[in-house]
Amino acid sequence: MQVFHTGTEWQTNWLKSLQSGKTIGFVPTMGALHQGHLDLVKNSKKECDITVVSIFVNPTQFNNPEDFAKYPITLEQDLKKLEDEGTDFAFLPETLSIYPEKPVLTLNFGELEHVLEGEFRPGHFNGVGIVVSKLFHTIKPDKAFFGQKDLQQVAVIKRLVRDLSFNLELVVVPTRREVDGLAMSSRNLRLNPVERAQALILYWSLTKAKDELLAGKPWLDVRNQIRQDFKETSLARLEYFELVHPEHFTRFEAFEPDQKSSICVAAYLGSVRLIDNLPIIP
């Protein structure tokens, strides 16, 4: 596996020699890699000739400074995992090479800014959009791989690709879970044992709500009961639990079996914020 640190290095040393018909798959990450990230790498390796993985903890997408300061960093293990997975290139940029100066450009994703992650993490999608645009411009992939775990981020990146005419295909990879159902996340490393046990309520609430919806219980009753469950049975502090269209993220007040829909949840365990989602009608 080749490691590089700047876009110039990639473009002068590698990209030109690769361009003779080889397809490039790209997996952007913030490191602290787990099996969910490696699933993206596996998909890229299956679908593309060359796989590039970036590891960059992007400061501009953190609306909470403590979350940024405490974001787990496990670079040595990450590189070993990527190597074992057969990754061709790892891109480890320095912050200054991505942001020689603070961008003045801001991206606004319309309605997506006003619901769920957009509402509770102001500025987050601007930071994601800016860094992903920079990475796409640098790597020039044919395909880019993103996790369904960050469902609203997928919707944001789809808009970004369409609105800015990036010439690439997005591939969405299903959420990888621990055996007990907890969605894998780098932030899980920050949970203490009690929080880790309590974090199960995210997946538990999603599956319970899905079963009840499909059995005919009205959505607002389902949501009220789940809010109650969080208060009464868990240390987790619920931020949102919503039924949405998985692409536009319009919120539904009632379940329509002929409409695409997903339930999205965000909750805090101590100071660690976790998100998850479950498709109801894919």
**Residues annotated as catalytic (active site), given as ranges:** 37
Q: How many whole angstroms separate alpha carbon 246 and alpha carbon 259?
A: 10
Residue 184 near ligand AMP by CB under 6 A = yes
- Interface residue with ligand AMP among 130, 160, 183, 278 (CB under 6 A) is 183
DSSP 19: T
Where is 275: in which H helix or E strand?
strand 272-281
- Report the candidate in 278, 248, 254, 255 with the shortest Cα–Cα distance to residue 265: 278
CA 250 to chain centre: 19
The reply on whether position 62 binds ligand AMP by CB under 6 A is no
The reply on whether position 78 binds ligand AMP by CB under 6 A is no
Q: Is 37 in the site for ligand AMP (CB under 6 A)?
A: yes
Using the minimum distance from each CB to ligand AMP, give the nearer residue, 175 or 212. Answer: 175
Among residues 60, 87, 185, 261, the one that binds ligand AMP under rule CB under 6 A: 185
Largest Cα–Cα distance of the chain, in whole Å? 60
Check binding of 121 to ligand AMP (CB under 6 A).
Answer: no
Helix, strand or coil for residue 97?
helix
Window of 177-185, 199-207, 214-222, 243-251 that interacts with ligand AMP by CB under 6 A: 177-185
- Interface pattern 135-174 for ligand AMP (x via CB under 6 A): -----------xx-xx----------------------x-
Closest CA to 240 of 111, 120, 113, 66: 120
Number of residues that bind ligand AMP (CB under 6 A): 17
Under 8 Å between Cβ of 72 and 187: yes
Q: Does 222 sit near ligand AMP (CB under 6 A)?
A: no
Q: How many CB atoms lie within 10 A of CB 279?
A: 16
Coil, helix or strand for 40? helix
CB of 211 to ligand AMP, least distance (A): 22
Kindly state whether residue 127 participates in binding ligand AMP, applying the rule CB under 6 A: no
Cβ 195 to ligand AMP, closest distance in Å? 17
Candidate list 186, 188, 234, 277; residue touching ligand AMP; CB under 6 A: 186
Q: Is 88 in the site for ligand AMP (CB under 6 A)?
A: no
Is the Cα torsion angle 127, 133, 137, 143 positive or negative in sign? positive
What is the rounded CA–CA span in Å between residue 38 and residue 44? 10
Binding site for ligand AMP (CB under 6 A): 29-30, 36-37, 39-40, 146-147, 149-150, 173, 175-176, 183-186
